[in-house]
Amino acid sequence: MKTLKTLTLSILALGLVFSYAFAAGDIEKGKALFNDARLGGGTTGKSCNSCHPGGAGLGAADQKEFTIMGKKLKGLKEAINFCIGKAMKGKAIDPKSADMEDIIAYVKSLKSNAPPTAAPKKKKIEGC
């Protein structure tokens, strides 16, 4: 009986780990979407990477609020859809879709791969 309980708990724990891994999104698919000018039916020939090469200017992917072109947006999903609509002239993608999860996984991966920022250079004071 003890073995059965242990086996059941092990299977349950393993299932939770795998479900989280699949729910987190596919970084490689997200990268492909980030570089796809046709995302959301975009018509400008621009991709996310056109304005944010290598993730430049994206800020913290885990922010709760973004301000883009003077508009306050709640969360990364709204920010992504805003850019698809404005910069790419496409239609918003479903916030619950696998595509959205994949793009978010890629954007979050950029934060972990970002090079450390250099300390600002001090101005040289004349006469010193």
Question: pTM of whole model > 0.85?
Answer: no
Instruction: State the Cα–Cα distance between residues 28 and 33, nearest whole angstrom.
Output: 9
Instruction: State the Cα–Cα distance between residues 54 and 68, nearest whole angstrom.
Output: 19
In the chain, domain spans: 25-112
Residue 73 in contact with residue 65, Cβ under 8 Å? yes
Instruction: State the Cα–Cα distance between residues 46 and 88, nearest whole angstrom.
Output: 6
3-state SS assignment for residue 72: strand
List the chain residues with pLDDT less than 50.
Answer: 16-23, 115-120, 122, 124, 127-128
Q: Which CATH class is domain 25-112?
A: mainly alpha
Give per-residue pLDDT as tens, 66-80. Answer: 888 899 999 999 999
Which residue type does 7 have? L
Which residue type does 102 have? D
Backbone angles phi, psi at 112, to 5 degrees: -75, -20
pLDDT at 120: 46
Give per-residue pLDDT as tens, 101-121. Answer: 999 999 999 875 554 444 445
